[in-house]
Chain A
Amino acid sequence: MSGTAGGGAPGWSRSEMLVVAGARALAGRRVCFVGIGLPNIAVALAQRTVAPDVELVYESGVYGARPARLPLSIGDPCLVTGATAAMSMVELFQYYLQGGLIDVGFLGAAQLDRYGNINTTVIGPYDRPKVRLPGSGGACEIAINAREVFVLMRQSARSFVERIDFRTSPGSLGGGALRAAQGWGRGPSVVVTDLGTYRFDADSGEMVLGAVHPGVTLDEVRAATGWDVRVAGDLAATPAPTTEELRLIREELDPGRIYVK
């Protein structure tokens, strides 16, 4: 994980900036399908700041979780105690996710291409993998059925690639016409990394850098992208984390610095 080394502005780490930017992107969203790790912290931070009414959904079969501690896994018992509903996975995947009740699904990626296609399955050929990754889990159904998908990940030339080795979860699919015709969600709408925040061009479905985080240069972004990255004409600077955002992360959400280094 990245620390403050390598250009991070003093006072906070790039992981903290990633979590803060992810949380801010949730303003106005209500029902979020959460994975463990950085997305979990980002949603918890949003719940305490920009999205107090957010409902947490976990693929383990929980709706409306109110965890009293930070869960290590998405099946932690603290997600059940005090939740609105605990249910079988058939019910969760059929009615909540495929039924269209999820506003935002969070996904991570080992590799991502410029159209937001995600690989979490293998590095190298499928039959003779260099690195065998976990696979889909619920990711491919989240990418199709959630109204929109937020991708949170650390960015490098190895993770932002021209061609992904395996397509586990579909991306923007060329601008949204196919997705709309099929009745699927719109797919990835926001990608937040430790360097900046990306949106997707409505016509081409290609990622566009919309904001860079404090202390990050465009050259650094280009060096960490495996294609010629598009930059918005009105490129913004991400506002630095506030004292309160940092306090919440450090004192309440991840005091042991397990996820946010």
Chain B
Amino acid sequence: MSGKVTTMADAVRELVRDGDTVAIEGFTHLISFAAGHEVIRQRKRDLVLCRLTPDVVYDQMVGAGVARKLVFSWLGNPGVGSLHAIRRRVEHADPAPLELEEYSHFGMVGRYTAGAAKLPFYPLRSYFETDLPVVNPNIRPVASPFGGETVYAVPPLTPDVAIVHAQRADAGGNAQVWGLTGCQKEAAFAARRVIVVVEELVGEEVVRADPNRTLVPGLKVDAVVVCPRGAHPSYAQGYYDRDNRFYLEWDRISRDPVLLEAWLKEWVHGTATHAEYVDKLGEARWRELTPGPALAGPVDYGDYR
């Protein structure tokens, strides 16, 4: 096995550069908050942050001042309300303007897919009779070369870096995921550099015993970071629950720039690593977030010799 295993600090230092286009993907599930926090600790600058749902992780990063632009399709705190740090910048340029490039979910998914497949655009039947193409010139109508129909096209999205959280990977970066897979696969294949962050490092034989579960092959992966509970307050299916209490609390914190700054100071800059953040949350909180088991039945791939 090749040694792609590294620390979060080293992975972010070497693979995330100021000005980069960065995608920390994961639709509600498997969002690498640990990577977002390390980007904040290292005070990266001028990032273009891509995600379908910027979620609390990008509200924290935007609030910390690491980003100049968002590329997205749904801007909110899921199930709760608004992302207030982002709204302050968009509505009041407070403390600085934030550039927005806006699509729909399918448009963003299509952009990663075109990026991964080296296609010049992705066609879809969205956007008709809406104002989205009016405000975003990257959403354009295109006539079918086979006659008749017009569809809309969106351009490929090829992030400099994609950061994907997974339940497990081997040291070569072969990453396996179950539960919601969002568009992490498309984001990873579209990106120039890929960091995989995992709950558990496993032997190559574990991956090979269940190849259907591999989302991203080591072929595409530059670094593997072992970071248990690294998705909190997002979740890892079967490992820990979404911490809805934190999502609710964030509404109060992010409404007030002073509270937000204090939160970053205490929970991000005040912790050297994600392991410290996990300890600081306390075992009682983690017990609350631990699900009971719901095992899949085994499948037989067959032994063919």
* A184, B179: Cβ atoms closer than 8 Å: no
* A77, B125: Cβ atoms closer than 8 Å: no
**A-chain residues with CB within 8 Å of residue B235 when the two chains form the complex:** 77
With A72-B244, A74-B28, A141-B105 as given contacts, are A134 and B124 in contact (CB-CB < 8 Å)? no
The minimal Cβ–Cβ distance linking A206 to chain B, given in whole angstroms, is 16
* B105, A166: Cβ atoms closer than 8 Å: no
Partner of B130, one of A61, A72, A168, A182: A168
Q: Does A62 contact B (CB under 8 A)?
A: yes
Q: Of residues 35 to 54 in B, which have CB atoms within 8 Å of A's CB atoms?
A: 52-53
A133 to B102, CA, bound (A): 12
**B-chain residues with CB within 8 Å of residue A82 when the two chains form the complex:** 294
Q: Does A59 contact B (CB under 8 A)?
A: yes
Closest to A37 in B: B79
* A138, B105: Cβ atoms closer than 8 Å: yes
The minimal Cβ–Cβ distance linking B239 to chain A, given in whole angstroms, is 10
The minimal Cβ–Cβ distance linking B168 to chain A, given in whole angstroms, is 17
Q: Of residues 201 to 254 in B, which have CB atoms within 8 Å of A's CB atoms?
A: 235, 237, 241-242, 244, 247
User: Which one of B103, B129, B237 has the greatest number of beta carbons of chain A within 10 Å?
Assistant: B129
The total of Cβ contacts below 8 Å across the A-B interface reads 156
* B179, A73: Cβ atoms closer than 8 Å: no
* B125, A75: Cβ atoms closer than 8 Å: no
Q: Which of B16-24, B68-76, B275-283, B297-305 contacts A (4 or more CB under 8 A)?
A: B68-76
A167 to B182, CA, bound (A): 26
With A80-B237, A131-B91 as given contacts, are A139 and B79 in contact (CB-CB < 8 Å)? no
* B180, A138: Cβ atoms closer than 8 Å: no
* B180, A81: Cβ atoms closer than 8 Å: no
Closest to B78 in A: A73
**A-chain residues with CB within 8 Å of residue B113 when the two chains form the complex:** 90
Q: Does B183 contact A (CB under 8 A)?
A: yes
* A80, B128: Cβ atoms closer than 8 Å: no
Q: Of residues 37 to 86 in A, which have CB atoms within 8 Å of B's CB atoms?
A: 37, 59-62, 71-77, 80-82, 86
The minimal Cβ–Cβ distance linking A43 to chain B, given in whole angstroms, is 16
**B-chain residues with CB within 8 Å of residue A28 when the two chains form the complex:** none
The minimal Cβ–Cβ distance linking A172 to chain B, given in whole angstroms, is 10
* B131, A61: Cβ atoms closer than 8 Å: no
Q: Does A135 contact B (CB under 8 A)?
A: yes
Total chain A interface residues with beta-carbon distance under 8 A? 50
A82 to B227, CA, bound (A): 28
**B-chain residues with CB within 8 Å of residue A167 when the two chains form the complex:** 129-131
Q: Does B135 contact A (CB under 8 A)?
A: yes
A131 to B126, CA, bound (A): 25
Secondary structure call for the B interface:
loop
* B74, A89: Cβ atoms closer than 8 Å: no
**B-chain residues with CB within 8 Å of residue A87 when the two chains form the complex:** 181
A121 to B75, CA, bound (A): 9
Partner of A76, one of B28, B106, B131, B183: B28
A250 to B184, CA, bound (A): 38
Q: Of residues 131 to 156 in A, which have CB atoms within 8 Å of B's CB atoms?
A: 131-141, 144-145
Q: Does B270 contact A (CB under 8 A)?
A: no
A182 to B148, CA, bound (A): 10
Q: Does A27 contact B (CB under 8 A)?
A: no
* A126, B104: Cβ atoms closer than 8 Å: no
* A89, B127: Cβ atoms closer than 8 Å: no
Closest to B126 in A: A141
Q: Of residues 211 to 229 in A, which have CB atoms within 8 Å of B's CB atoms?
A: none
Q: Does B192 contact A (CB under 8 A)?
A: no
Q: Does A36 contact B (CB under 8 A)?
A: yes
**A-chain residues with CB within 8 Å of residue B186 when the two chains form the complex:** 88, 90
Closest to A259 in B: B79
Q: Does B90 contact A (CB under 8 A)?
A: yes
**Chain A 81-113 interface mask (CB, 8 Å, partner B; 1/0):** 110001111100110011000000000000000
Q: Does A248 contact B (CB under 8 A)?
A: no
Q: Does B263 contact A (CB under 8 A)?
A: no
* A129, B102: Cβ atoms closer than 8 Å: no
Q: Does B27 contact A (CB under 8 A)?
A: yes
**B-chain residues with CB within 8 Å of residue A94 when the two chains form the complex:** 106
A76 to B131, CA, bound (A): 31
Q: Does B255 contact A (CB under 8 A)?
A: no
Question: Which 10 residue pairs spanning A and B have beta carbons closest together?
Answer: A75-B28, A137-B74, A170-B129, A72-B79, A73-B78, A134-B76, A73-B79, A136-B104, A93-B106, A138-B105
Q: List 10 A-B contacts (CB under 8 A).
A: A62-B180, A72-B244, A73-B244, A75-B27, A75-B28, A77-B237, A81-B294, A126-B131, A132-B75, A167-B129
